[in-house]
Structure formats: structure tokens, C-alpha cells
Chains A and B, each alone.
Chain A
């Protein structure tokens, strides 16, 4: 079976149909990741389609010295981030309207409060350097670049701190909530 680089070389040379092999190879991972991040399957699939479409057009920029999968994952995670940022903005107005028309039941409010409290506790347990990026990214929805400018770090360092923050959060949520999924928690 040809490896990713060979396939891409041929796709770029004009054999576009081979791109389906790339999609087949990675669709599982990409859809799974997006599902974890977005929280529902139809949207995860739609977004995954967008990711593969975008990646096709960007293929000419792919540099073979990088691992293809990492490059693809980077595109997927950036794309997902943009979508989440857009959604958050839409949700905000939605929440406001909802509160006027249809106030939440006491049960859901209580559940939400409990979940927020757990999340808040876990955030507080993070080391300062992780907490800062976590809040800026997940709660304030700033991009890697915005955070990197604000904290005078490289974007990669911001990403790395986020990876580590997530790992730490996972650990502490495991203790308090028996393994609540951090992404589920953040789909508030």
C-alpha cells in the first residue's frame, strides 16, 4: 500500500481519485475527534467533510518533511476551533432569548450549577500557567494566536500548555466525577 507521501505526490500530479484513499485512512480519526469536540454526530460529519475538502485544496502547501497525519490533524483542530468560536457567539444570543421566553427548570439549573462548580474546582487546581491558557482558550474563546500575543509565547507553546492543561483536568475530573469528559463539560 502506498504511504501518505506517495499518495499525495500522485494526487498533486493529477490523479485526484487517489484522494479517496486518504479520506478512507483518516475519516475515522477525524470524525471521532470532531465528535468529541462538537458533541453531535451529524455536525461532526459535516465538519469532517469540510476538513477533507479544505485539506485537498491545501495539499499543494503540504511539506513532505512533516508527517501528513500531523498536518491534517492541525487543519482539523484549527477548523474545529473556528467553528466552536463561531458557535459560541451564536449561542450567547440564544441563551439570552431563551432566558426570557423559557426559563430553565430547577433540575437542569441545579445540574448545570453542579457541573460548573466541578469544572471551576478543576480549573482552580491547575497550575497558574495552565489555568491562564485554559481560561483564555476554552472560556474566553481566544485563538492560539491571540493567547500567544497576550502571554508573549509562541503559538506552539500555547498549544502545548493546552494539551497539558487538558491532561491535568482529565485527571482531576476523574477523581471528582469518575471521569467526566472534559469536552462534554465544556459543551455547556
Chain B
């Protein structure tokens, strides 16, 4: 099964998606493992391109021998090549790197203290005013007392490393520290490795080997570790952890500044309430099975965990027009593509969490739904995966801002979305649209008015492009039409894209307006047939699961 959004990545990578769609797709990737892979493939492609962009500079013949002898400790074949003007600082880094190599991948490397070139700092700040503080969830965790004063310091070679404060929530750990010389002068130039060790000696950061880094934070330094993607739940988090901070390099020096900070996760775990549901299963008449497994409430975030399954009967063959880019068509070519995909998904649902007063405290809606008609509230995007496929089951983790305090809440599933096949055809003479708009009705009860056609011929790298204004009212329960294509008078099919602005009227009908864009259309068409192969409908659901945070 491939994700619905696959075809979009080519457009995204080529900068051909409108900004809103582009952002939407990036957000989708946060929760779609398949698209994460797809995006990585495109990043790799761009890397290849970047590494091949410049004419290669000549590299001395001895280069290879030097690396080989470095690796296998033969007699060094140092040549007369002038050594770079490396400072003491950089030589120090060499040492770290050499000793560090063996453990690379075993520990997370932390570089702290982000420096801003002073020549840029001023205008950057004045121009962009970037929010530097932690998100509301993190602040809340500190307010809830998940913070601990530390008085640990260690001095070696005249340099002191001092751990000042620790914040430990079940979803993340942050530490504030300082680093200074004997005159009290702060040292920004340092790097360090982090280990998070449990009572059995297991280092939980060992596996992913990722690089962590922190940034200066007011007077001191702060570095943060997200636990969300290390432990599957608060219960799975060990009670006792030891955060081992090993500065590997301070101002080019190596020394012994290791600090071990015991992290008592019990308090954080106690502050995290988990509501586990038994048999909270919803079976939609269309076949989607949703299982509400648990909701976790930590001071820094709320996490809803759902499982979904889709029956085999929900798999349908969709045919869509796409722009394909490959070696033979680096500029892109219009093709049609057949894919078997489920018409239902655990991601395509809408739900709310409401309190006793009936206020909505968190809400989530289908990805890709136009924001004018989507209901979202308190959604928090955290890094790490938020869905995973295990056999037939897809696991979903949806994160929201913190919900705290004893209260009675209700999980309300409101909608299940479904994709349906369609085959409307609207025949137009584009030229005529500028004189008179054309209105069509189709079998879904939707009506569409096409007006104002324009075609821009090719210029430079840009091939021709046609734009038609479309306005319409969708049929009852129809919420969106994601894919469009057109055929010209010769029967050739082109991919087309519509980025609508949608609203709902008092009867719940969706009205939209937008530009239907047909990219890479080399000649002005004499006739056009506009089609859409599928559309999305909403099924209203009223499935409630009351629960209580005690």
C-alpha cells in the first residue's frame, strides 16, 4: 500500500506546489512513515545534485594513500602539502574526533552554545524576531515543578562545567548548565556527548546514534532531549535514569569534566496520567475499525493513541494524472497512474475532546482538509514518528498541548472520511469562458462554474501554463476534491491542481473558489474536458467515550 500523497513529492521537491500545500505535505510527512522515506529519497536526490553541481577541483594523488594509512596505521605518507593554518582549537578537535570515532554511533553527540556572528546578529534579530523560548508545554512542565536545582560542578584544567537545573517530564528532559574558565569567563566553544542510562546499564541513546545539540539560553546553556520517541509510554520509561554528560572538547582541550546526573523519573511519571481504554472500539458502517487505546497527559503534552484497521474490501483502484519526473523527463511529464489504495484511513477522521462545560479542549481533523472547513484545536507537532504500520494495524499517536488537572472529559469521534470514485466530465471551449462562464452539475450533487481562462506560453525554463477560475458548491457531505485532470482536443491527459478556499454554509454545504492550474501545457488548448477521478465525503459519527483524569 502506498500513501495517497506520493505523487505530490515530486511537485514539492520541484517547488511547484503552492505554499499552503507544500506546508501541508511537510506536516503530513511528520506522521506518515512512508512519506518520510519518500521525502528522504528526494533529499538524497538533491544532495546528489548538489555534490555534482560544481566542476571538481583536482585532488592530490597522495590523498587516498593518506586516508588509507590513517585508517590502517601504516607508515604515514604525509606529503609536503602545507598543513592548514589550524588553530590550537582545531587541533584539539582532531584529537576528540580520533578518540570519538570508535564510539561514533554509540553515543549522542551534543554541541551546545549556538553562536551568532555579531555582524549578523543585530539585523537578524531586528528583521525576523525569532521566538527563542520553549513551547507552552515545556513551560507548563517547569511550572508544575518538574524542575530540580542541581549543584554539580567539576573543574579540570582551569575550566569548570556546572550543571544548574534539570527539567524532567515524561516526554522530555532539559538541562541548564554553564561552562567557564578560572576568570569566570563563559566558554561557548564546547561539545559534548549525552548518554541516558537505566539501572541495568542500558544506554537508551545508543541505538539511534543521533546528534543532539542545544543552544545558549539567556545567561546559560540549555540542551533538550525528547523522550517521546525513545519510550513508547510513560510506564515504559524507567523510574531511574542517569544522564551522563561527557564534554568531549572545551576550547580545544580534552579533559575530565564528566557529570552524572541522576534523573528521578518517578515524579514525572506520577505527574503523567494515563487513561487506558478497554474495548473502546468503533466500527464504522464503511468498514473502518478504530480502537482508542489510551490517552496520556503529561505536564508538557497530551498524547492520544489509536489503532486503526481497514478491511480488504475498502481497497480500490484509483487512477490519477500526475506529473512525473525521471531521468528521461527531468522537466516533468504528464502521465496517468493507477494505484490500489484504501478509501478509509485512521488518519482521515475528525474528533474532539471536550470538558464538562462542553468546551472543546483539543480537536483534530483530516490531513489535507482545507483550513477553512477543518476543525483543529491545541494540536502540537512534536518531532519523531506519529504513526506506524504493524501488519494490518496502523498505530496513531496524536499530540496536543497539555491538558491538566482533575476533570471529566469526553472523546468524541465526529467524522469518518471516505474517498469515492467519480467520473464527471465537463466539456469546455476555453476561449469562450472569458465571455461567458460555464456551469455544470454532476452526480454528486455538486455544481461548478468555470470562468476566466488564461494561458501563458513557455518562457525560459517555464513551460506553458493554463489557469481557469473555478467556483462551486459541493454536494451534500462532499468536503473536498483533491485530484483533477484535463484532456485537450487531442485526447491528451494533463495533471491539474486546484488550491481552493473553502467555507461551509449554515446547512453544512461546502463552497469553494480557486484557480485550477494546468502546468506544462505547451499549446493553448482549443477544447478542454475537465474531470476529477475521486472525491471525499464525510460520514457523521457520534461515538463518545467519556473518561476522567483523576
Quick one: CB contact mask for B101-125 with A, threshold 8 Å, 1 for yes?
1101100010101111111100110
A152 to B211 Cα, complex, angstroms: 17
**Is the beta-carbon distance between B50 and A135 smaller than 8 angstroms?**
no
- Which A124-157 residues have a C-beta within 8 angstroms of B? 124, 127, 129, 131-132, 135-136, 139-143, 145-146, 148-150, 152-154, 156-157
Residues of the B chain whose Cβ atoms lie less than 8 Å from the Cβ of A136: 130
**The residue from A33, A58, A146 contacting B215, defined by CB atoms under 8 A apart:** A146
Given A28-B59, A90-B189, A152-B381: A142 touches B114 (CB 8 Å cut-off): yes
Q: Is B36 an interface residue (CB 8 A)?
A: yes
- Which A87-112 residues have a C-beta within 8 angstroms of B? 88-93, 95-96, 112
Min CB distance A156 to B, Å, is: 4
Q: Is A50 an interface residue (CB 8 A)?
A: yes
Given A23-B67, A29-B51, A32-B54: A135 touches B115 (CB 8 Å cut-off): no
**Is the beta-carbon distance between B86 and A86 smaller than 8 angstroms?**
no
A123 to B124 Cα, complex, angstroms: 10
Residues of the A chain whose Cβ atoms lie less than 8 Å from the Cβ of B40: 156
Q: Is B404 an interface residue (CB 8 A)?
A: no
Quick one: CB contact mask for A37-65 with B, threshold 8 Å, 1 for yes?
00011111110111011101110010000
A160 to B11 Cα, complex, angstroms: 12
Residues of the B chain whose Cβ atoms lie less than 8 Å from the Cβ of A146: 114, 213, 215
A19 to B65 Cα, complex, angstroms: 11
**Is the beta-carbon distance between A73 and B382 smaller than 8 angstroms?**
no
Min CB distance A130 to B, Å, is: 10
A160 to B318 Cα, complex, angstroms: 29
A132 to B64 Cα, complex, angstroms: 40
**The residue from B22, B55, B70 contacting A129, defined by CB atoms under 8 A apart:** B22
A31 to B70 Cα, complex, angstroms: 17
Residues of the B chain whose Cβ atoms lie less than 8 Å from the Cβ of A141: 114-116
Residues of the A chain whose Cβ atoms lie less than 8 Å from the Cβ of B381: 152
A157 to B23 Cα, complex, angstroms: 9
Residues of the B chain whose Cβ atoms lie less than 8 Å from the Cβ of A123: 127
Given A53-B71, A54-B101, A142-B114: A24 touches B128 (CB 8 Å cut-off): no
Residues of the B chain whose Cβ atoms lie less than 8 Å from the Cβ of A33: 50-51, 54
Residues of the A chain whose Cβ atoms lie less than 8 Å from the Cβ of B59: 27-28, 31, 45, 48
Residues of the A chain whose Cβ atoms lie less than 8 Å from the Cβ of B212: 145
**Is the beta-carbon distance between B70 and A58 smaller than 8 angstroms?**
no
**The residue from B63, B85, B213 contacting A45, defined by CB atoms under 8 A apart:** B63
**Is the beta-carbon distance between B46 and A160 smaller than 8 angstroms?**
yes
**Is the beta-carbon distance between B39 and A19 smaller than 8 angstroms?**
no
**Is the beta-carbon distance between B47 and A156 smaller than 8 angstroms?**
no
Q: Is B19 an interface residue (CB 8 A)?
A: yes
Q: How large is the interface on A (under 10, 10 to 19, 20 to 34, 35 or more residues)?
A: 35 or more
**The residue from B15, B48, B55, B380 contacting A70, defined by CB atoms under 8 A apart:** B48
- Which B50-72 residues have a C-beta within 8 angstroms of A? 50-52, 54-60, 63-68, 70-72
Binding-face segment, B76-84, B408-416, B511-519: B76-84
**Is the beta-carbon distance between A154 and B26 smaller than 8 angstroms?**
yes
Given A27-B59, A74-B44, A157-B39: A46 touches B120 (CB 8 Å cut-off): no
A160 to B70 Cα, complex, angstroms: 34
Min CB distance A99 to B, Å, is: 9
A139 to B123 Cα, complex, angstroms: 11
Residues of the B chain whose Cβ atoms lie less than 8 Å from the Cβ of A116: 119-120, 123
Q: Is A9 an interface residue (CB 8 A)?
A: no
Which A-chain residue is minimally distant from B12 (CB atoms)?
A: A160
Quick one: CB contact mask for B400-420 with A, threshold 8 Å, 1 for yes?
000000000000000000000
**Is the beta-carbon distance between B52 and A29 smaller than 8 angstroms?**
yes
Which A-chain residue is minimally distant from B67 (CB atoms)?
A: A52
Given A23-B68, A146-B215: A152 touches B383 (CB 8 Å cut-off): yes
Q: Is B191 an interface residue (CB 8 A)?
A: yes
**Is the beta-carbon distance between B54 and A46 smaller than 8 angstroms?**
no
Residues of the B chain whose Cβ atoms lie less than 8 Å from the Cβ of A42: 81-85
**Is the beta-carbon distance between B19 and A129 smaller than 8 angstroms?**
yes
**Is the beta-carbon distance between B117 and A95 smaller than 8 angstroms?**
yes
**Is the beta-carbon distance between A66 and B44 smaller than 8 angstroms?**
yes
Residues of the A chain whose Cβ atoms lie less than 8 Å from the Cβ of B86: 43, 46
**Is the beta-carbon distance between B56 and A32 smaller than 8 angstroms?**
yes
- Which A70-90 residues have a C-beta within 8 angstroms of B? 70, 73-74, 76-78, 82, 85-86, 88-90
What 5 A-B pairs come out closest when comparing CB atoms? Answer: A152-B381, A42-B84, A70-B44, A28-B56, A157-B26
Chosen A-B contacts, 20 in total, with CB atoms closer than 8 Å, are A28-B58, A31-B59, A32-B54, A42-B81, A48-B63, A49-B63, A70-B47, A76-B51, A90-B89, A91-B117, A92-B188, A139-B116, A142-B114, A143-B211, A145-B211, A146-B213, A149-B383, A150-B131, A152-B381, A159-B46
New A-B pairs, 7, CB < 8 Å, besides A89-B188, A93-B189, A156-B43: A19-B68, A45-B60, A85-B213, A92-B118, A123-B127, A142-B215, A145-B212
